[in-house]
Amino acid sequence: MDASTQAVLFPGQGVGDASSRELVAAVRPDLLDLATELAGEDPFERMSEGTAYAQPAVFCASIAGYEQLGRPRAEYFAGHSLGEVGALAAAGAIEDADGVRIVVARGRVMEDAAGRVEAGGMLAVGSDRAGAAALAEEHGLTLANENSPQQFVLSGRLHAIEEAEKAARESGVRAKKLAVAGAFHTDAMSSGIEAFGAALEQIDFHEPEAPVISSTSAEPFGDDVRDALAASLVSPIRWTAVLGRLDELGVTRYLDVGPGKVLAGLVRRTLDGAETETLASRESALA
């Protein structure tokens, strides 16, 4: 790494596919074995079936990607939703194995919470913030993710998501329903907070080696990491604000270690002139 200030980024649930298993099996078979034991089955084989499998699969793939690159040092770490756990592990705030324990519990409580309420979903919208907020208000939805100045995700009851998708497309706005189990990052997840909090109490947290930026507050995690992680189940993800904060802190290089290149793309669409790298591009440079 040169004199540039670097942030390492960890993606959320909606990235990657079962092909990531090969890297995990080669680089971190211990995490794959633990995730399989705790989830009850190989999470990669069923990651398309639900949150309970997708979350441990993405976590393991992201940590394996970071490991493959030699766990490069960074001045800051950040993760999108689920990715916060990977960022905390990379920064030394938790052990990698405890990260697996956290994401398995997280996936289960979110799937269980989704099953306790009216069917819900999420809708990605290609719009500015004002347009996304207006669409959300019109259909009784929550502005759950602010991914970039041009991409937002609405969350709420499934029938309202479908109506909003139709209305958006009729008005010429790009909209796509996401393959998720429920209305994540809304009050629909509130029944999972207690159980997730109890799981977090079993984990030892340490002082991170570098600041980890919360994807809900856009500020470094403090002493209340457990409370913040539990509250994130019902809190909007403010990724645009996270990138803005990192920019203010002087970050000029962003390394997306997860499967795919979603976060690198969001950086380019949010910050002019920022340098981005992905697992694939960094591996090519090191070859």
Confidence of residue 283 (pLDDT cuts 50, 70, 90): low
Tokens of 97: 């194995």
More confident call, 43 vs 48: 43
Compute the residue count for the chain. 287
Confidence of residue 284 (pLDDT cuts 50, 70, 90): low
Reduced to 3 states (helix: H, G, I; strand: E, B; else coil), residue 142 is: strand
Q: What is the CATH number of domain 120-177?
A: 3.30.70.250
Rounded Cα distance, 238 and 232, in Å: 11
Active-site residue (options: 20, 185, 215, 232): 185
CATH class of 6-115+187-286: alpha beta
Active-site residue (options: 20, 62, 80, 81): 81
Q: Which parts of the chain fold into alpha helices (H)?
A: 21-27, 29-39, 51-68, 83-90, 96-115, 129-139, 158-170, 193-200, 225-231, 239-248, 262-270, 279-286
In angstroms, the Cα distances linking 214 to 67, 92, 128, 219, 221 are 22, 15, 23, 6, 6
Judged against a pLDDT cut of 90, whether residue 4 lies above it is answered with no
Q: Tell me, what DSSP letter sits at residue 4?
A: S
Give the DSSP letter string of 152-211. Answer: EEEEEEHHHHHHHHHHHHHTT-EEEE---SS-TTSGGGGGGHHHHHHHHTTS-----SS-
Confidence of residue 184 (pLDDT cuts 50, 70, 90): very high
Q: Domain locations in the chain?
A: 6-115+187-286, 120-177
Q: Give tens-digit pLDDT for 129-151.
A: 999 999 999 999 999 999 999 99
Q: Give tens-digit pLDDT for 198-250.
A: 999 999 999 999 999 999 999 999 999 999 999 999 999 999 999 999 999 99
Q: Tell me, what DSSP letter sits at residue 276?
A: E
The residues, ordered by sequence, that sit 6+ positions from 284 with a Cβ below 8 Å of its Cβ are none
Tell me if residue 81 is catalytic: yes
In angstroms, the Cα distances linking 127 to 69, 132, 160, 168, 231 are 35, 6, 18, 9, 27
Whether 267 and 254 have beta carbons less than 8 Å apart is answered as yes
Burial class (CB in 10 A: 0-12, 13-18, 19+), 51: buried
Rounded Cα distance, 265 and 163, in Å: 28
Tell me if residue 139 is catalytic: no
In angstroms, the Cα distances linking 69 to 250, 279, 280 are 23, 8, 10
Judged against a pLDDT cut of 70, whether residue 1 lies above it is answered with no
Q: Give tens-digit pLDDT for 85-112.
A: 999 999 999 999 999 999 999 999 999 9
Rg (CA), the chain: 18
Q: Give Cα 108 distance to the centre of its chain.
A: 16
